[in-house]
């Protein structure tokens, strides 16, 4: 769910920002007191909420798919403006802003690779546990 939410949010944000910049969407940037609010601010707020659930939520809330989706969406909002956060300059539409795209695609690729290999990782863990238990039993038998 996190991977899907990250990809969908990142794609939607890219589409919306292009629509705002090119004027084909009927709305503009989000502002407060005349200051432009970047979407990484929304991502930080979302991740703060997810963190609160992780720290104070009950077990059902912590593992809920909506929490996973919120985590993916919040992370995408931040990653999309990574270059701005790195240099503290609004480089979203410049060549340096390409770093945000590269970081976002890297995160998306890494999550996709991990998720597609989950059965492999589970099997590695199972085999490792089996070997550790066997070795411990063998050592106890020899020593006792």
pLDDT tens for 77-134 read 998 887 777 776 777 777 777 777 888 888 888 888 888 888 888 899 999 999 898 8
Cα dist from 57 to 20, 43, 61, 130, whole Å? 37, 20, 6, 34
How do residues 43-83 score in pLDDT, each as one tens digit?
A: 999 999 999 998 887 888 887 899 989 998 999 899 888 77
18 in a structural domain: yes
Cα dist from 75 to 33, 34, 52, 142, whole Å? 26, 26, 15, 51
72 in a structural domain: yes
142 in a structural domain: no
Task: Give the total number of structural domains in the chain.
Answer: 1
46 in a structural domain: yes
User: Does the pLDDT value for residue 27 go beyond 80?
Assistant: yes
Sign of the CA dihedral running 135, 136, 137, 140: positive
0.85 exceeded by the pTM?
Answer: no
Q: Give the Cβ contact number of residue 40 at 10 Å.
A: 18
139 in a structural domain: no
124 in a structural domain: no
Q: What is the predicted pLDDT for the residue at 111?
A: 82
Q: DSSP letters along 31-97, please?
A: EETTEEPPHHHHHHHHHHHHHHHHHH--HHHHT-HHHHHHHHHHHHHHHTTHHHHHHTS--TTSGGG
Q: Give the Cβ contact number of residue 67 at 10 Å.
A: 19
133 in a structural domain: no
- Quick one: DSSP state of residue 117? T
62 in a structural domain: yes
The residue segments making up the domain with residue 99 are 2-117
């Amino acid at each position: 769910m996190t991977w899907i939410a990250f990809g969908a949010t990142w794609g939607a944000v890219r589409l919306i920002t292009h629509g705002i910049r090119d004027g084909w969407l009927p709305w503009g940037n989000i502002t407060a007191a005349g200051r432009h609010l970047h979407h990484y601010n929304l991502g930080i707020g979302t991740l703060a909420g997810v963190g609160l659930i992780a720290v104070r939520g009950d077990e059902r809330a912590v593992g809920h798919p909506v929490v996973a989706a919120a985590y993916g969406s919040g992370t995408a909002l931040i990653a999309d403006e990574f270059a701005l956060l790195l240099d503290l300059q609004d480089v979203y539409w410049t060549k340096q802003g390409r770093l945000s795209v590269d970081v976002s695609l890297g995160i998306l690729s890494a999550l996709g690779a991990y998720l597609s290999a989950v059965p492999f990782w589970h099997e590695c863990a199972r085999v490792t546990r089996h070997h550790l238990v066997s070795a411990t039993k063998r050592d106890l038998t020899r020593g006792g």
